[in-house]
Amino acid sequence: MSANQPNTAGGETKVVFTGAQPNPVLSFLQRPRIMLLLLAAWSILGVLTQILTSNSIFFDNKDREIDGALAGFALGWEGIPLAAVYIYCLRDPVKHHAVFWLALLHMASLAASQLYHLGTGDFSFESIVVPLAGSCGLAALVFVHIFSPKEVQPATTPQPSG
């Protein structure tokens, strides 16, 4: 519930959100199509990070090389098919509601991998803070969307003519 209180300095009205009303920004971000666009953008950003390996903003590997028999998997561009799925599901998010379970798994695995690499010392905290915050934020949006009560549309039954 918002309360309009007069401001004594200029006579203007001030709106105060008390928590009873939904937050307009959060309501906007929880729209299924907006969430799918954010998920697609996050996946594409992950691919750009893997493509631009000599850029210090994304990934800096000048000092050491990624080596090993299976090291190519580290930069596999797996975000491309995920972004394609999210963009495909933009057409009808209600019909493709299961994509949000995929998104929750995707964001949870990203967050887990970032915490793992922080724990092993592969990357510093500064290197994972933004990806971890973004993954956890998107996971929270998707989690709330999946488990929030949905409005049930009443079934229409044909009326007998007569």
Sign of the dihedral defined by the CA atoms of residues 140, 137, 28, 90, in that order: negative
Q: Which two tokens stand for residue 57?
A: 């903003």
Those residues with Cβ within 8 angstroms of residue 101's Cβ, 6 or more apart along the chain or in another chain:
146
Q: Which two tokens stand for residue 5?
A: 């209180």
For 72-102, b/e burial (b = at least 16 CB within 10 A) is: eeeeeeebeebbebbbebbeebeebeebbeb
Q: What is the pLDDT of residues 103-159, one digit of tens each?
A: 999 999 999 999 998 898 888 888 889 999 999 999 999 999 999 887 766 556 666
Residue extents of the structural domains in the chain: 22-59+68-147
Q: What is the pLDDT of residues 15-70, one digit of tens each?
A: 676 767 888 888 899 899 999 999 999 999 988 887 776 666 666 666 666 667 77
Cα dist from 124 to 8, 56, 66, whole Å: 50, 14, 17
pTM, whole model, 2 decimals?
Answer: 0.72
Q: What is the pLDDT of residues 72-100, one digit of tens each?
A: 777 788 899 999 999 999 999 999 999 99
